[in-house]
Amino acid sequence: MNSPAVEVLTFGEAMLSLQTEGPLGAGGSARTTVAGAEFNVAVGVARLGHRVSWAGRTGRDEPGRLILRTLRGEGVVTSHATTDPQAPTGAMLRERRVADLARVHYWRSRSAASRQRPEDLVPALEAGARILHLTGITCALGDGPLAAVRAAAAYAAEHGWTVTLDVNHRARLWSEEAATTALRPLLPYVDVVIASDDELPLLSAASGASPDGGEADLIAELFGAGIGEVVVKRGADGADLHLAGAAPAHAAARGVPVADTVGAGDAFCAGYLSGMLDTLGPAARLHRATTTAAFAVASNGDWEGLPHRDELALLDAPPGSAVR
């Protein structure tokens, strides 16, 4: 059997992103860029030296062209991305409101990404991959995107791919109950769940409420549903990896000055996927994930500071060092 053209396939909404350094009401200029959970992961995986395809849907407009041009510039395959001549590319505004607190506003209703359908993904799926990476955000965009996620997950599982799911819950997109109803049917197809500790209950049969036994019971429930790996993100407290029948692995967060926490979870996912592709052991996979997350936290922007493979060791240098 021939190897697939790409190692990772992902899709979801990429958006025009406007970012201000102060409250929007005070006026001032905004930095223009692009962002989106799966977009960020795709860039992060590509920078780490892997072949990745992004098969999302944009409008046939200037923001859509900017998104595709940026992805191609980062080495991401976009040949299976689709454009919608009747719907715009979504947009977001991130304003730094006070200190390091950011507030995000979205314009994604009736966007091109919200109109993605299972048939849009057929060429990308038929081209093959080793890993299909999904997020809960795409599932929340509407019936079409949710159907696309379910169809892609079923196809990937049937063809022996590894399916990863980052819960990535956004309370402004949908309720916890709606998230649970949509995400739990995906579990039979999923191999790896990535979630923050407060997102794990969304995958429980107990309607989003944590069982009496707490996190251990939630993880056991996921193992019972056929999940092979459960990765729990704990922010400044690092991350844990749970494997059935094995002691959990833990990685501490890397100590870096905090510049911007938005996108850190996507960076973590990119590092973890890279570790999987490189067949690293559990502790090493987590270490790479917390390292890529640290690069994101220490840099402004959702993805701009993500490391290339030859930069992963930079955080091992003493603070204030100059690499000469």
**Residues annotated as part of the active site:** 266
Q: How many CB atoms lie within 10 A of CB 308?
A: 12
Q: How many CB atoms lie within 10 A of CB 296?
A: 30
Question: Exposed, middle or buried, 217 (CB in 10 Å: 0-12/13-18/19+)?
Answer: middle
Residue 91 β-bridge partners:
16, 107
> What are the backbone dihedrals phi and psi of residue 173, each rounded to the nearest 5 degrees, phi first?
-95, -40
Q: Are 176 and 208 in contact (CB under 8 A)?
A: yes
- Alpha helices, DSSP H, located in the chain: 37-47, 62-73, 122-127, 136-139, 143-158, 176-183, 215-224, 264-277, 282-297
Q: Are 265 and 253 in contact (CB under 8 A)?
A: no
Distance separating alpha carbons of residues 301 and 266, to the nearest angstrom: 12
Distance separating alpha carbons of residues 184 and 240, to the nearest angstrom: 22
Distance separating alpha carbons of residues 296 and 265, to the nearest angstrom: 9
Distance separating alpha carbons of residues 66 and 154, to the nearest angstrom: 31
Distance separating alpha carbons of residues 105 and 252, to the nearest angstrom: 32
